[in-house]
Amino acid sequence: MAAESTSRGRPALIGAAAAIALAAIFLAAQWFWPLMMPSAGRPNVLLITIDTLRADRLGCYGDRDAVTPVLDALAAGGVRFLDAVAHVPLTLPSHATILTGVTPLKHGVRDNAGFVLGPSLRTLAEQFGAEGYETAAFVSGFPVHHRFGLARGFDVYDDRFPYGGDPTRPPYVERRADQTIAAVTAWLAARSGEDRRPFLIWLHLFDPHSPYDPPEPYRSRFSARPYDGEVAFTDAQIGLFLDQLARADLRDQTLILATSDHGEGLGEHGEPTHGLFIYDSTIRVPVILAGPGVPIGRTVATLARGIDVAPTLLDLARLPPLPDAEGRSLQATWGEGRAADEPAYVESLFGRLSFGWAPLYGWHDRQMMFIDAPRAELYDVQADPGQLHDLSGTRTADASRFHRIIEAAVSKAPVAEPASTSREAGDRLRSLGYTGGSGPIPNPSLRDPKDSAALAVRIERAMAVERADPKKAIKEFRSVLIEDPSNPLPRRHLAVALTAERRFEDALAELKQLVAAGDTSAETLVFMGECYRLSGRNEEALETFRQGAARDPRIPDPLNGRGKTLVAMNRRDEARQAFERALVLEPDDPEALGGLADLAIERGDLAEARARLETLRERDGEDTSITLKLGVVFVRLGELDRAIELFSEVVGRQPGNVDAAVDLGGALAKSGRPAEAVPYFERAVAAGARSPVVWNSLGFARLESGNQAGAIEALRQSLRVKADQPNIVAMLRKLEGR
């Protein structure tokens, strides 16, 4: 629900090396793909979900200012549904619905935080896989990370998000559309030419999600409308992929369905983004179909729903339906004897689970929308598409009927109780505006979200600056708590802002208030443990991490916290055991891998350090700290060429990275190339790295390059920083002939 922002901090364009690599992949693909035609009568299937895409921001849905020629052309060449709705305005639960064909009431995923899709329902990927399809997913945002259960049934689930370069946001949150398109293209090119199985690809693109920061030239062109710039960029990237399918003669054999998980408020009803309300601004989405079995140029007025996506794809591929699906195939809506409309159940528990406010339930058909809230609302969505004129006071019979329908549906569903979310996962979700709580809220206010929209915006804006401007955030959180004292979220994030100011004791005081109010979640206990650790209260930290692990033994955070505390206490063998236990729970956990790598370096086990760091680097090659640390390990192993390669990579990407310049200079000097080392030491000095080590390294590199005067100058500078260096004093006297 954050306002438009341009703080994503992503690179504007693909680098030259990446562009060359992508071109090579496309060339290879043109050779491979003709060998990968699907079996006769069985189409390839491409499901595209564009996160946070409002239908009315596409040209084919009436936006004359939209720059979406690819999706517009797809609609012109297939079927477009005039009215389509998502069942929940949140990424994870909406995608769970798309992939299972059932609403959140049945699959049980009610929010992004604290929920995982369970194994009881068969998924779209499992059904296609059982029928001989090769299944692959390429996703772009952390809310659909494999840990949340959506990977089931996919042979490949690519959710490798880059580290990111914004220090105010957690790493590994999202990747841009061009990176995801490159990944799916590489996968297709690498498929065996003998594998003639048809494929199901789920392509998830996250760019229209806030914060809005499209790359150039879209950033400049849409400077006043960055959300639309993200949509235009995403459309163009889809076009590149569809062009490759066409060049490989695969486009005609591929069934394509493009849709979204939810829309975006963009200020309507006081909601800048999405999640809190269930008006059409955040639940109306596009549904476009094209390919085998789909008529050309057809517009369908029948209401389409998220639960209809999986049944439709299976039907058009002539495969058995999902046994538990609540949706239906949309194929019946565009033929003769067109099927009648069916209504859609809609919900948002975001306000309830995040803030303790009332949940929202809705019932939506083509004509009417009912919202069950403390003050119910009823709208004629055809006459009032903006949902500005509430009819619940005049059409009381309709409102009562809809209320009874919703009450009956909701009463059959289990109570929505979120489980613990790891602190790392919670941080990533909150960085995307998903302000989910850490567990049940003991004393919820159950106020109507309509009365608190402005409060929600204030909370999220404070969260956006809690690390970059903690003083401002602290002031805002305290103000919010005066107005809504039972709301646990601003208190939790007040503690986050206090830790950013290193006021750990004050943060602990706020967290203890949460615990006193009944929040004994693992996430809260881990947060408390970190505050104890950072304030040097190690024994209390260990006890609190123990309680967190007992509260939820499935998450790695308490073990990672224990490991870091034990390192600080010089109990390294126990720390190693803690990190290894964390890896059992989450095999690619970066904190545990990093902790084990550091311990291995300390005890001289360079083979283990290398293995751990290479695993981390494979997970994310853009994390320069991992790359530099791995380079240092290669230096110690004597593999100088490999070290120089890694250091050069970082210097090339980040010319101002002082550590990389020093490391590269040192590796070059050590490998007998002092003249090449000198410019990197000089660059480091110019950037402010003027420690004795850097000055001495520069001095000796100059000396070995034949520049004695320059060497003398550098060594003198080193002694000015630290006079007590007998070896340097002796060397300087020798060079000066004294």
CA angle (221 as vertex; 217, 223 as ends), nearest 5: 110
- Round to whole Å and give the CA distance between 459 and 155: 40
Which residues lie below 8 Å from residue 720, measured CB to CB, with a gap of 6+?
none
Closest alpha carbon to 214 in 198, 196, 236: 236
Cα four-point dihedral sign 81, 86, 87, 93: positive
**Cα 173 to Cα 431: distance, rounded to the nearest angstrom:** 8
Tokens read off for 580: 């290894």
Chain-centroid distance of CA 431 in Å reads 9
Contact indicator for 326, 103 with CB cutoff of 8 Å: yes
Q: What is the 3-state secondary structure (H, E, C) of 665-724?
A: HHHHHHCCCHHHHHHHHHHHHHCCCCCHHHHHHHHHHHHHCCCHHHHHHHHHHHHHHCCC
pLDDT (0 to 100) of residue 168:
54
3-state secondary structure 493-560: HHHHHHHHCCCHHHHHHHHHHHHHCCCCCHHHHHHHHHHHHHCCCHHHHHHHHHHHHHHCCCCCHHHH
Q: Helix, strand, or coil here: 729? A: helix
Asked if residues 259 and 287 have their Cβ atoms less than 8 Å apart, the reply is yes
Say what the pLDDT of residue 705 is.
Answer: 95
d(CA 728, CA 606): 31
DSSP 165: S
Q: How would you list the strands of the sheet with 344-348, edge to edge?
A: 344-348, 360-364, 368-372, 377-380
Tokens representing residue 474 in the block: 């602290």
| All domains of the chain in start order, with CATH | 16-332 (3.40.720.10), 355-411 (3.30.1120.10), 623-738 (1.25.40.10)
254 exposed, middle or buried (CB, 10 Å; 0-12, 13-18, 19+)? buried
Percentages helix, strand, coil for the chain (3-state, rounded to 5) are 50, 10, 40
Q: What are phi and psi of 548, to 5 degrees?
A: -65, -40
DSSP letter for each residue of 603-662: TT-HHHHHHHHHHHHHH-TT-HHHHHHHHHHHHHHT-HHHHHHHHHHHHHH-TT-HHHHH
Residue 356 structure tokens: 């303790």
18, HSE (Cβ side, Cα atoms, 13 Å): 15
d(CA 213, CA 176): 10
Region class of 80: left (phi > 0), else alpha (psi between -120 and 50), else beta = beta
Distance between CA 345 and CA 87 in Å, rounded? Answer: 6
Lookup: tokens for 247: 């060049």
Residue 3 confidence (pLDDT): 39
Please enumerate in sequence order all residues whose Cβ is within 8 A of that of 173, keeping only pairs 6 or more positions apart, or say none: 141, 142, 161, 164, 428, 431, 432
Concatenating the DSSP letter of every residue in 434-464 gives: ----SS--SS-----GGGGHHHHHHHHHHHH
> Strands 79-81, 298-300: parallel, antiparallel or unpaired by DSSP?
parallel
N-term to C-term CA, the chain: 71
Distance CA 285, CA 281 (A): 9
d(CA 106, CA 98): 13
Q: Which residues contact 645 (CB under 8 A, 6 or more apart)?
A: none
CA-based nearest residue to 294, from 251, 350, 335 = 335
What is the per-residue burial (b if ≥16 Cβ within 10 Å, else e) of 549-562?
A: bebbeebbbbbbbb
Residues 6+ apart with CB under 8 A from 392: 370, 376, 377, 378, 399
Instruction: Specify the pLDDT at position 114.
Output: 81
- Residue 156: which H helix or E strand, with range? strand 156-158
pTM: 0.81
Left if phi > 0, otherwise alpha if psi is -120 to 50, otherwise beta: which for 445?
A: alpha
The neighbouring-strand residues paired with 134 are: 199
The pLDDT of residue 31: 34
Output the six-digit token pair for 298. 């057809």
Using DSSP bridges, classify how beta strands 360-364 and 368-372 pair: parallel, antiparallel or unpaired: antiparallel
pLDDT at position 621:
76
Is residue 138 within 8 A of residue 184, CB to CB? The reply is yes
Task: Kindly report the number of other CB atoms within 10 A of residue 711's CB atom.
Answer: 22
Residue ranges of the chain with pLDDT lower than 70?
A: 1-40, 163-172, 192-195, 336-337, 416-440, 738
Question: Which pair of structure tokens corresponds to residue 234?
Answer: 């995403």
